[in-house]
Amino acid sequence: MSDSKSYRILNEELEEVIQKLQSEGLDVDEVVKEYQKGINLVETMEKYLKSAKNKITKIKPSKPA
């Protein structure tokens, strides 16, 4: 899995966490667990945006595919 793809997944997971926290009827253990998960995701995403780089590779198709 590449970094950027994991970013998309991280973002989806963060949205899930936020949606869960918006819902009613969570017990306090679940809230703390989701909070911890959300903060970990946020930190990974921030780190990704600071460190990842774009890479361009030129391809020469030798024959018609």
Q: Note the residues at the interface with another protein (CB under 8 A).
A: 2-5, 7-8, 14, 17-18, 21-22, 26, 28, 31-32, 35, 38-39, 42, 45-46, 48-49, 51-61, 64-65
In the complex, least distance from residue 45 CB atom to another protein, rounded to whole angstroms: 5
Handedness of CA 30, 35, 41, 43 (dihedral sign): negative
In the complex, least distance from residue 46 CB atom to another protein, rounded to whole angstroms: 6
In the complex, least distance from residue 34 CB atom to another protein, rounded to whole angstroms: 8
> Which of 41, 57, 58 is closest to 49 using CA atoms?
41
Alpha-carbon radius of gyration of the chain: 18
